[in-house]
Amino acid sequence: MTEHQPSPAEPPPTAKQQRYLRQLALQRGVSFVPPRTRAEASRAIDELKRRAPEPVADRRREVRAVQDDMAVRRGDAARVRHEIETEGCGSTAAWKQGRS
């Protein structure tokens, strides 16, 4: 068995654990790696419960900043600009030569 898949004896996290973990992570202002087992989910929940929640005003300010940024299309550094970076279409698309 690879270490990426739980063994058959290890049950996957419940939907309730996953929802609670996501809710706690949002409240704490952190991200998390999705757990593979119920035991991992329980440990992650316990760890997040020990952290202090992020102030609601800070969370709202961050969400608003991201929404504003997306509305004016700033922060698109990862976006591919087809007109100058790629050539071709669909499965024949390729990077242009000499891109930086």
pLDDT, tens digit (0-9, with 9 covering 90-100), for 60-85: 888 888 888 777 766 566 666 666 77
Sign of the alpha-carbon dihedral angle for 63, 70, 75, 86: positive
Residue 59 CB-density burial (10 A; 0-12 exposed, 13-18 middle, 19+ buried): middle
> What gap in Å lies between CA 83 and CA 96, rounded to an integer?
10
Which residue type, as a one-letter code, is found at position 73? Answer: R
In which residue are the tokens 């991201």 written?
A: 66
What pTM was estimated for this model as a whole?
Answer: 0.55
Residue carrying the six token digits 């996501």: 22
